[in-house]
Protein backbone atom coordinates (compact mmCIF):
# COMPACT_ATOMS: atom_id res chain seq x y z
CA UNK A 1 0.00 0.00 0.00
CA UNK A 2 1.16 3.50 -0.77
CA UNK A 3 1.08 6.35 1.73
CA UNK A 4 -2.02 7.94 0.17
CA UNK A 5 -3.94 4.67 0.27
CA UNK A 6 -3.05 4.15 3.93
CA UNK A 7 -4.42 7.57 4.86
CA UNK A 8 -7.64 6.91 2.96
CA UNK A 9 -7.93 3.50 4.55
CA UNK A 10 -8.70 4.98 7.96
CA UNK A 11 -11.25 7.42 6.54
CA UNK A 12 -13.80 4.79 5.60
CA UNK A 13 -17.50 5.48 5.73
CA UNK A 14 -19.78 4.10 8.45
CA UNK A 15 -21.36 1.59 6.06
CA UNK A 16 -18.12 -0.36 5.82
CA UNK A 17 -17.34 -2.96 8.42
CA UNK A 18 -15.47 -2.23 11.63
CA UNK A 19 -13.11 -5.15 11.00
CA UNK A 20 -11.81 -3.53 7.82
CA UNK A 21 -11.37 -0.23 9.60
CA UNK A 22 -9.50 -1.87 12.47
CA UNK A 23 -7.29 -3.85 10.07
CA UNK A 24 -6.40 -0.74 8.08
CA UNK A 25 -5.70 1.26 11.20
CA UNK A 26 -3.41 -1.49 12.54
CA UNK A 27 -1.42 -1.38 9.31
CA UNK A 28 -0.89 2.37 9.57
CA UNK A 29 -0.26 2.39 13.31
CA UNK A 30 -3.33 4.50 13.97
CA UNK A 31 -5.32 3.88 17.16
CA UNK A 32 -8.96 3.05 16.48
CA UNK A 33 -11.51 4.25 19.04
CA UNK A 34 -15.04 2.93 19.21
CA UNK A 35 -17.72 5.56 18.94
CA UNK A 36 -18.76 6.94 22.33
CA UNK A 37 -21.96 5.81 24.01
CA UNK A 38 -24.69 8.39 23.53
CA UNK A 39 -26.07 9.93 26.73
CA UNK A 40 -29.53 8.87 27.81
CA UNK A 41 -30.45 12.37 29.01
CA UNK A 42 -29.47 15.64 27.42
CA UNK A 43 -29.93 19.22 28.68
CA UNK A 44 -33.00 20.96 27.26
CA UNK A 45 -34.22 24.46 27.99
CA UNK A 46 -37.62 24.75 29.67
CA UNK A 47 -40.12 27.65 29.83
CA UNK A 48 -38.29 29.44 32.65
CA UNK A 49 -35.01 29.40 30.68
CA UNK A 50 -33.50 26.83 33.02
CA UNK A 51 -31.97 23.68 31.66
CA UNK A 52 -33.39 20.28 32.53
CA UNK A 53 -31.98 16.85 31.83
CA UNK A 54 -34.52 15.17 29.60
CA UNK A 55 -34.61 11.94 27.66
CA UNK A 56 -33.85 12.21 23.96
CA UNK A 57 -36.72 9.88 23.06
CA UNK A 58 -38.74 7.05 24.54
CA UNK A 59 -36.83 4.35 22.68
CA UNK A 60 -33.48 5.44 24.12
CA UNK A 61 -34.97 5.73 27.62
CA UNK A 62 -36.44 2.23 27.42
CA UNK A 63 -33.25 0.66 26.04
CA UNK A 64 -31.17 2.37 28.74
CA UNK A 65 -33.53 1.13 31.43
CA UNK A 66 -33.39 -2.45 30.10
CA UNK A 67 -29.60 -2.32 29.92
CA UNK A 68 -29.45 -1.00 33.49
CA UNK A 69 -31.72 -3.80 34.75
CA UNK A 70 -29.69 -6.51 32.98
CA UNK A 71 -26.41 -5.15 34.30
CA UNK A 72 -27.55 -4.74 37.90
CA UNK A 73 -29.30 -8.10 37.95
CA UNK A 74 -26.25 -9.95 36.61
CA UNK A 75 -23.93 -8.25 39.11
CA UNK A 76 -26.31 -8.98 41.96
CA UNK A 77 -26.54 -12.63 40.95
CA UNK A 78 -22.75 -12.89 40.70
CA UNK A 79 -22.38 -11.62 44.25
CA UNK A 80 -25.20 -13.84 45.45
CA UNK A 81 -23.55 -16.85 43.81
CA UNK A 82 -20.37 -16.22 45.80
CA UNK A 83 -22.30 -15.74 49.03
CA UNK A 84 -24.39 -18.85 48.47
CA UNK A 85 -21.28 -20.92 47.78
CA UNK A 86 -19.71 -19.80 51.05
CA UNK A 87 -22.85 -20.42 53.06
CA UNK A 88 -23.35 -23.88 51.51
CA UNK A 89 -19.75 -24.79 52.24
CA UNK A 90 -20.04 -23.67 55.86
CA UNK A 91 -23.36 -25.38 56.36
CA UNK A 92 -22.30 -28.74 54.93
CA UNK A 93 -18.83 -29.09 56.40
CA UNK A 94 -18.42 -31.76 59.07
CA UNK A 95 -17.15 -30.85 62.50
CA UNK A 96 -13.46 -31.17 63.21
CA UNK A 97 -14.03 -34.02 65.66
CA UNK A 98 -15.90 -36.03 63.04
CA UNK A 99 -13.19 -35.41 60.44
CA UNK A 100 -10.46 -36.59 62.81
CA UNK A 101 -12.42 -39.68 63.83
CA UNK A 102 -13.14 -38.67 67.42
CA UNK A 103 -16.92 -38.91 67.07
CA UNK A 104 -18.99 -41.65 68.67
CA UNK A 105 -20.43 -42.73 65.31
CA UNK A 106 -17.05 -44.23 64.24
CA UNK A 107 -16.94 -42.24 61.01
CA UNK A 108 -20.31 -43.46 59.75
CA UNK A 109 -21.70 -39.93 59.53
CA UNK A 110 -22.93 -38.95 56.09
CA UNK A 111 -21.23 -35.55 56.11
CA UNK A 112 -17.78 -37.10 56.32
CA UNK A 113 -17.92 -38.56 52.83
CA UNK A 114 -17.06 -36.27 49.95
CA UNK A 115 -19.99 -37.41 47.81
CA UNK A 116 -22.57 -36.60 50.47
CA UNK A 117 -20.91 -33.26 51.21
CA UNK A 118 -20.98 -32.34 47.53
CA UNK A 119 -24.66 -33.33 47.28
CA UNK A 120 -25.44 -31.27 50.39
CA UNK A 121 -23.61 -28.23 48.98
CA UNK A 122 -25.32 -28.44 45.60
CA UNK A 123 -28.76 -28.73 47.25
CA UNK A 124 -28.16 -25.72 49.50
CA UNK A 125 -26.59 -23.75 46.65
CA UNK A 126 -29.62 -24.32 44.43
CA UNK A 127 -32.10 -23.36 47.14
CA UNK A 128 -30.10 -20.24 48.04
CA UNK A 129 -29.86 -19.07 44.41
CA UNK A 130 -33.57 -19.67 43.92
CA UNK A 131 -34.37 -17.51 46.94
CA UNK A 132 -31.99 -14.73 45.91
CA UNK A 133 -32.87 -14.65 42.19
CA UNK A 134 -36.21 -12.91 42.63
CA UNK A 135 -34.83 -10.33 45.04
CA UNK A 136 -32.02 -9.47 42.59
CA UNK A 137 -34.48 -8.76 39.77
CA UNK A 138 -36.67 -6.69 42.11
CA UNK A 139 -33.62 -4.72 43.28
CA UNK A 140 -32.56 -4.05 39.69
CA UNK A 141 -36.07 -3.00 38.66
CA UNK A 142 -36.52 -0.65 41.64
CA UNK A 143 -33.09 0.94 41.22
CA UNK A 144 -33.42 1.50 37.47
CA UNK A 145 -37.01 2.75 37.74
CA UNK A 146 -35.80 5.57 39.97
CA UNK A 147 -33.07 6.56 37.51
CA UNK A 148 -35.19 6.38 34.35
CA UNK A 149 -38.32 8.28 35.36
CA UNK A 150 -39.38 11.52 33.71
CA UNK A 151 -38.94 13.82 36.70
CA UNK A 152 -35.80 15.46 35.38
CA UNK A 153 -33.52 17.47 37.67
CA UNK A 154 -33.02 21.14 36.86
CA UNK A 155 -29.53 22.40 36.04
CA UNK A 156 -28.50 25.92 37.01
CA UNK A 157 -26.75 27.92 34.33
Secondary structure in 3-state letters for 26-68: HHHCCCCCCCCCCCCEEEEECCCCCEEEEECCHHHHHHHHHHH
- Confidence (pTM): 0.58
* Residue 27 binned pLDDT confidence (cut-offs 50, 70, 90): confident
Are residues 66 and 96 both part of a single domain? yes
Are residues 30 and 101 both part of a single domain? no
In the predicted structure, residue 20 carries a pLDDT above the cut 80? no
Are residues 102 and 62 both part of a single domain? yes
Are residues 52 and 122 both part of a single domain? yes
Per the structure, how many domains does the chain have?
2
For 128-154, the pLDDT digits (tens) are 999 898 899 999 999 999 888 876 455
Range of the domain at 128: 41-155
Are residues 50 and 30 both part of a single domain? no
Are residues 64 and 140 both part of a single domain? yes
Distance CA 142, CA 11 (A): 44
Amino acid sequence: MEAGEKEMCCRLTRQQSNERVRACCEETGTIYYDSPILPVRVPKQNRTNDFELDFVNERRRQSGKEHCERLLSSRCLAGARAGCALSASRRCKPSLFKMLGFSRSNGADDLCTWESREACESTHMASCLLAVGLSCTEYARDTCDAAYTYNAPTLNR
